Amino acid sequence: MAWMDLIAGCFGFGTAPFATNRLDEDVAMQAIAAAKAEGVTRHEFAQLIAAYPRKYIKSEHVLRDRLREDAARLEKLWATPRFRD
């Protein structure tokens, strides 16, 4: 499965934050590993995950806060080694 196809599964549901529970985090780690294998940068990955909540959140203030939180979570997961306990 292509990494882009995994993105929706990183959110649980439309307005949920990025990878905040274990199942969503597992999908996010799969997507990140697949993206890295294809040579995708963290910035390119971040752009795609930022597009997902834009479909559901119309308030610019709420969206800005969400994107900041999602970016911080991505930063931690991007640096995490592929294989974890």
pTM given for the model: 0.88
Lookup result for tokens 């599964």: 9
* CA-wise closest residue to 26 among 42, 12, 46, 40: 12
Q: Using CA atoms, how far apart are residues 18 and 13, in angstroms rounded to an integer?
A: 10
List all residues 6 or more positions away from 3 whose beta carbon is below 8 Å from its beta carbon: 30, 31, 32, 34, 35, 38, 40, 45
Average pLDDT, stretch 55-64? 93
pLDDT at residue 14, rounded to an integer: 73
* pLDDT tens for each residue of 20-57: 999 999 999 999 999 999 999 999 999 999 998 998 89
Q: Note whether 18 and 24 are within 8 A (CB).
A: yes
